[in-house]
A and B are shown apart, each in its own frame.
Chain A
Amino acid sequence: MKVPRHILLLFMMLFAICSSGEAATNESTTKEVDVRKVIFEHVKDSYEWHITTIGEKHISISLPVILYSGNSGWHLFSSSVFHDTEVYNGFTVAHEGDYEGKIVEVDEAGNMSRPALDLSVTKNALAVFVSSLLLVVVMLYVARWYRRHDATKEAPRGFVGIMEMLVTMVLDDVVKPNVGPKYRKYAPYLLTVFFFIFLTNLLGLLPIFPGGANVTGNIAVTLALALCTFIAVNFFGNKEYYKEIFWPDVPTWLKVPVPLMPLIEIFGMFVKPFALTIRLFANILAGHTALLAFVCIIFVTMSVNSYIGSGMTVVSVFFTIFMNCLELLVAFIQAFVFTMLSSVFIGLSQPEHHGKAH
């Protein structure tokens, strides 16, 4: 009996809030909610970290802009300059076109072009620093526990215990079976990748600063991670691995005179990191987009009708909570999958004897 009464109360409160806020919503109905713009602003990188808006006041963190232009050399300034002026030193933030949201150089004729090098510490770069710092602090804290305790006398509890569980899980379930006998050499890299992605995914799910940035849903970030795996695979692959690429065990006419199989193998070398890049990027981006879309339902329906809006709010909150739980799962799964695929690729670069590994 208790539960229905609570739900009833909730509904009554919702309607009370809606009727009191009706005047305000009626006023804003003239403003169309541009869902696409809202979502894109959230999931895309930007030159400042917008935290919230109270009334008309934007609260955001200004970030350093570092540019190298072929015409005017190096530039370093804060992104807050664009609050006051549209164009600063010949640079501006494009509002539309191919470079939407990016800093562009404007010449006298009004033509826009990207500066030769844009090393600005953007929102995502700052988020990367935040998760890097957090990861280093966390792992050093965990490592300190192990330095101060005799591992044979006691097992860690609490947070360190959870970390040990994760480390052991990644080692035993992912690294050891996939990489093979030389797993110890690659374990630190794969563990770093796992914890970096997992932590960054989790931070991305936090709604406010320093979380909320769509870091692992940015292709540059996932590409960087995939590049590291590419290096680990190809720079430390053994002879057998390169023999299988350039002189695979197939009928000779497939290799000479047209190197068909080697071409496919070389193509495969680059497809692997590409797959890593896209799968992580697309999964996280989709998760963020879906979450934001569910939140936007509230504003879209509110702008149509406050009663439908209040009803949809319940649905939207329910779905948002559901999506958040799902994204928690995805945060872990994607970190796990990235680590596992990296392990598999590294394992493939360590064939033991010809014909045995395949």
Chain B
Amino acid sequence: MSFLLPETGLLFWMLLAFGVVFFILYKYAFPAILSSIDERKKFIDDALKNAQEANEKLARIEQQGNALIKAAQEEQARILKEAVSTRDRLLKEAHEKALDESEKIMAETRRLVQQEKENAIREMRTQVAELSLSIAEKVLRKELSGDERQEAFTREMLDEAFEKENSAE
């Protein structure tokens, strides 16, 4: 039973020693230890939170970058497409213009040719008329005796002249 009876002396020394130990540790050891541990814990928590935030930010930036690249690519494609269409349009326009121009030139040429032709015909006609007049003059001057022959001759001449004109036309 002596085990179960606490000795006053030991109880006293134990309380004294433990009290002193507790006081010293309470005063000099634990404040430093606990505050340091708390501080580090807080620091680590903050660091973790910051890291997570940085990660999120990075992800956001990456996303933004990707979006930018995508937009740029789309823009590029659009510009290329536009350029191609512009080229095609310009080519077509140029082609059309050239066609128009050539047609215009052709028309002008045709008109000039026609004019020239008409001029030539008119000139020919006047010449034929003059010729026939001179022929008639000659005939009238030379032979006014044989009427029939003269008439036939005149007719023949005129026919010939007209035939010529027609063939020239």
Residues of A at the B interface (CB closer than 8 Å) are 44-45, 66, 98, 100-102, 117-122, 124-125, 128-129, 132, 135-136, 139-140, 142-144, 146-147, 149, 151-152, 155, 164, 167-168, 171, 184, 187-189, 191-192, 196, 218-221, 223-225, 227-228, 285
**From DSSP, what is the main secondary structure of chain A's interface residues?**
helix
Residue of B nearest to A138 (CB): B29
- Chain A residue contacts of B37, Cβ below 8 A: 151, 164, 167-168, 171
Contact yes or no, B2 A119, CB < 8 A: no
Residues of B at the A interface (CB closer than 8 Å) are 2-15, 17-18, 20-22, 24-26, 28-30, 32-37, 39-40, 43
How far, in Å, is A173 (CB) from chain B's closest CB? 14
- Chain A residue contacts of B20, Cβ below 8 A: 132
A151 to B32, CA, bound (A): 10
Contact yes or no, B36 A151, CB < 8 A: yes
A121 to B10, CA, bound (A): 7
How far, in Å, is B33 (CB) from chain A's closest CB? 5
Residue of A nearest to B4 (CB): A219
Contact yes or no, A143 B18, CB < 8 A: no
A143 to B28, CA, bound (A): 8
A190 to B21, CA, bound (A): 13
Contact yes or no, A140 B28, CB < 8 A: yes
How far, in Å, is A342 (CB) from chain B's closest CB? 13
A126 to B28, CA, bound (A): 24
A225 to B22, CA, bound (A): 11
Contact yes or no, B6 A220, CB < 8 A: yes
How far, in Å, is A119 (CB) from chain B's closest CB? 5
Given contacts A151-B39, A151-B43, is CB(A119)–CB(B33) below 8 Å? no
Given contacts A45-B7, A139-B25, A168-B37, is CB(A132)–CB(B2) below 8 Å? no
